[in-house]
Structure 1
Amino acid sequence: MSKKDKRRILALKDKEVREAQFLIDEFKVGDTWRIFRIMSEFVEGFESLADMGSAVSIFGSSRTKKGEPYYEKARLLGERMAKSDITVITGGGPGIMEAANKGAYKAGGKSIGINIELPFEQKPNKYTTHLISMKYFFIRKVMLVKYSQAFIIFPGGFGTMDECFEALTLIQTMRIKPFPIILVGKEYWEGLLSWIRERMLEEKLIRESDYELIQLCDDTDDISRVVSDFINKENNYK
């Protein structure tokens, strides 16, 4: 176990940190006034993001280090998006999020971070033109889905998976219009995709069209083309 993980476990034993982390428990004591905090976060998000133009959200691990291949690829994609006048949105933290924001920021584009207030681990990166801080994950996910025209998803952990499958579920159930969901990192994702094919699809728990919502691509030129083509097509319909 790493020193960082040990520190996190010790932090969780602290009562103040526990109460800050487990937000769902706050509603058990009748503090319905917290609804106003939720409303204020929605309002701030809507007002901040409404006029930013075409946008793509880039996801991935906060633990990916500068100089690693996925970090550099995310930075390059952020740069490509900015040069195509496409806003880059991330969770505003380190790792892949920092890389994508950095690429867009250095290229002079719009670089948005929607950061979550946590008692440990995630601090905002410095490469955003606009930073929004939120307390609730579910509000951030609404903002990411509402204002993105594509999801580009790098290797990550539970949070990355959550954001990926949230979008897939909303498209599958026709709650939102379909948009590209692109997984970057064939070696990382192939095991999951094989399981989805061999278990979910073969056992008829999803349709072929559901599986086809997912695109797997490692080439930055191809990813940029897919995103740009989709956005241009969408804009022509407006």
Structure 2
Amino acid sequence: MALSAEQKDFAARLGHDFATPALLQEALTHPSVATPNRKDNQRLEFLGDRVLGLVMAETLLAADQTAPEGQLAPRFNALVRKETCADVARAVGLGTVLRLGRSEMLSGGRRKEALLGDAMEAVIAAVYKDGGLEAARRLILTHWGDRIANVEADARDPKTALQEWAQARKLAPPRYVETDRSGPAHAPVFTIEARLDSGEVERASAGSKRQAEQAAARALLTRMEAGTHD
């Protein structure tokens, strides 16, 4: 089946001309709209995750030939995690061409982080199967771009860093408490407080609990490391 005009535009944004259009269509098909004659993207997602991991591992090793595994691992994790894949998906407009079931669309599926991240991995696999590893590598290096160059600044997971900060001072691990949830059901906004047993608290809001927790942890860690806590 030929690509639709929207799918052709998306393929152009990716920078890949599909010899087998069905691969891209499969990558864009969420399980909520799959049928016996229309495969969903879960198998491609599985493959794409591994292709992304291989390319990133090779890229990081080539970029820093002296870094030990302990430095490479957090950089790698920052580049392949679901949030990063979802960011790339948003940048290329993947959500606009996803094929979703009605209930998934009504619940804001085109903006869901996990759904976008999974679909981006499936697209990587589609390119890999269509054009080989070099085509997949070009796609990844093009669209991850500055994220690779700036990974050192992004590699430190705020929740992990805050927990390590607390442990080093013999404090209990931080707690994360949802204090508010607003917005419509298809696009909720979560407000989370990061709390230390010593009494310090920072609050953040985001479209997912994980993002709000990370933002609250980052704010609290910044405050504690700056020595501005009361």
Q: Shared fold by TM > 0.5?
A: no
Instruction: Give the TM-score normalised by the residue count of structure 2.
Output: 0.24
Q: Which structure dedicates a bigger proportion of its chain to helix? A: 2
Give the number of the structure whose alpha-carbon radius of gyration is greater.
2
